[in-house]
Homo-oligomer: A and B are copies of this chain.
Amino acid sequence: MLRSVRALEPLIGKLGRLARLDEADKAALLDLPFLVEPVRAHYHLVREGDRATHCCLLLDGYAHRHKIGPSGSRQIVSFHFTGDVLDIQHLLLPIADHDVQTFTPATVAWIPISALRAVTLARPAVGEALWRDSLVDASIFREWVLNVGQRDAKARVAHLLCEFAVRREAADLGSPTAFELPMSQDVIGDATGLSGAHVNRTLRALREAGVIDHRNRALAIADWRALCRVADFRPNYLHLYENTPSAELAYG
Contacts and interface: CB of A to CB of B under 8 A. Distances in A.
A86 to B, nearest CB: 13
A93 B132 contact: yes
Interface stretch (A30-38, A68-76, A178-186, A214-222): A68-76
Contact of A135 (B48, B70, B92, B139): B92
B93 A239 contact: yes
A232 B193 CA distance: 17
Contacts of A17: none
A60 interface: no
Given A89-B135, A132-B93, A77 B145 contact: yes
Contact of A149 (B49, B193, B239): B193
B97 A146 contact: no
B138 A239 contact: no
A236 B127 CA distance: 26
Contact of A142 (B77, B131, B236, B237): B77
Contact of A193 (B48, B73, B150): B150
A19 B75 CA distance: 31
